[in-house]
């Protein structure tokens, strides 16, 4: 017997309370923007600047012990990762310690480096500092600009892609849904003051791709049904299309969330922010594909003659290929 979390055939009315869902989304966007404007983001070392220290010792790297040893120094945001390399010897254990900039200075002082080294020797007496590198606020500011441009470019490319593949109504619905997902993800990081670094930008771009995939699946079924049911109202047709793809959408999101929740619980501090962003993004992305993108399409409407002409053109292309 196959496991079915969602019945194969459903007849749920997703637009019976369409205005309510849109109202909830608009309210959440306002809350996210207000939080961002009032308290901003808790930028990590990537965006704030800081110092990276590369250490080596004969003892295995214990990230928890390293963090406990450095906590009394009150250096702010600290990221500790173990470096793996096949060329390392059996007794060669390397770690990267990243410390945020102190009081807007270019790097931590020599005295602070000495304090860090003294604290580390309590955990690994033979620890060596192989290198100390600093990233100033100017470079961090450039990273923020590049990250913003990357997200905008991704959403702009999606707009063009959907416009060419479907029609402008579909493109606008998809882009509104993507902006909705990105704003709410940034908003939850602002409200909870979770560290925001380059890994979160990677998560945002991944969320854009995941949400787009869900939206395109629904829109493909909508386009097929527009040709199949010529006299069905657009509201009923959208409900039918979402119900027909609901099992696939739910199972994809559910299986992805199972893996993400496991990583969120067991993955450790280094990837926790990235995994949290992905988990939140999957939830809001699935929601927006059903309740935001499709509702925008319902409000804007779709020309039935466009689907007929589009179908005829595609049919002629296939006929020419067969000939």
The C-alpha angle with vertex 21 and arms to 17 and 27, in degrees rounded to 5, equals 140
In this prediction, residue 277 carries a pLDDT of 92
- Is the CB of residue 194 less than 8 Å from the CB of residue 322? no
What does the pLDDT read at residue 184?
93
What 8-state DSSP symbol labels residue 87? T
Angle of helix 269-291 relative to helix 198-228, nearest 10 degrees, comes to 20
The angle subtended at Cα 318 by Cα 316 and Cα 319, nearest 5°, is 60
- What's the pLDDT score for residue 322? 40
Cα-flanking dihedrals φ and ψ of residue 22, to 5°?
-65, -40
pTM of the model: 0.75
How many Cβ atoms sit within 10 Å of the Cβ of residue 218?
Answer: 25
Q: How far apart are CA 16 and CA 312, in angstroms?
A: 33
**Nearest CA among 34, 47, 307 for reference residue 184:** 34
In this structure, are residues 123 and 66 in contact, taking their beta carbons and an 8 Å threshold? yes
Query: Residue 295's closest CA among 225, 224, 229, 222?
Result: 222
Could you list the pLDDT tens digit for every one of the 323 residues in the chain? 455 666 667 778 887 777 788 888 899 999 999 999 998 888 877 777 778 888 888 888 888 888 888 888 887 778 888 887 777 777 788 888 888 776 655 556 777 888 888 888 888 888 888 888 776 656 666 777 888 888 888 888 877 877 787 788 888 888 888 889 999 999 999 998 888 888 888 888 888 888 888 888 888 888 888 888 888 888 888 888 888 888 888 888 888 899 999 888 887 677 888 899 999 999 998 898 888 888 888 888 876 655 554 444 444 433 333 43
E-strand ranges in 12-155 read 42-43, 50-57, 78-83, 93-100, 128-135
Give the separation between CA 41 and CA 32, rounded to whole angstroms. 11
């Amino acid at each position: 017997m196959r496991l079915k979390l969602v019945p194969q055939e459903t007849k749920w009315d997703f637009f019976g309370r369409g205005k309510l869902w849109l109202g909830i989304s608009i309210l959440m966007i306002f809350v996210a923007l207000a939080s961002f404007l009032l308290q901003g983001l808790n930028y990590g070392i990537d965006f704030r600047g800081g110092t990276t220290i590369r250490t080596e010792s004969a003892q295995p790297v214990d990230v928890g012990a390293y963090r406990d040893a450095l906590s009394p120094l009150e250096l702010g945001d600290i990221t500790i990762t173990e470096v793996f390399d096949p060329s390392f010897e059996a007794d060669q254990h390397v770690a990267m310690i990243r410390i945020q900039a102190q009081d807007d200075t270019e790097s931590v002082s020599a005295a602070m480096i000495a304090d860090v080294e003294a604290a580390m020797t309590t955990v690994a007496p033979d620890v060596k500092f192989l290198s100390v590198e600093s990233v100033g606020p100017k470079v961090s500011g450039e990273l923020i600009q590049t990250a913003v441009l990357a997200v905008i470019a991704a959403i702009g490319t999606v707009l063009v892609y959907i416009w060419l593949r479907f029609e402008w109504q579909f493109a606008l619905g998809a882009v509104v849904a993507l902006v909705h997902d990105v704003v709410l993800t940034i908003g939850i990081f602002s409200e909870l003051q979770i560290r925001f670094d380059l890994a979160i930008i990677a998560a945002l771009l991944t969320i854009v791709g995941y949400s787009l995939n869900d939206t395109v699946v629904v829109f493909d079924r909508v386009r097929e049904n527009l040709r199949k049911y010529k006299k069905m109202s657009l509201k009923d047709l959208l409900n039918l299309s979402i119900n027909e793809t609901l099992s696939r959408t739910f199972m994809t999101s559910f299986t992805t969330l199972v893996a993400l929740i496991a990583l969120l619980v067991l993955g450790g501090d280094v990837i926790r922010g990235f995994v949290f962003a992905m988990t939140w993004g999957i939830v809001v992305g699935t929601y927006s594909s059903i309740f935001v993108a499709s509702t925008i399409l319902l409000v804007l409407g779709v020309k039935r003659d466009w689907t007929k002409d589009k179908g005829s053109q595609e049919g002629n292309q296939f006929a020419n290929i067969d000939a």
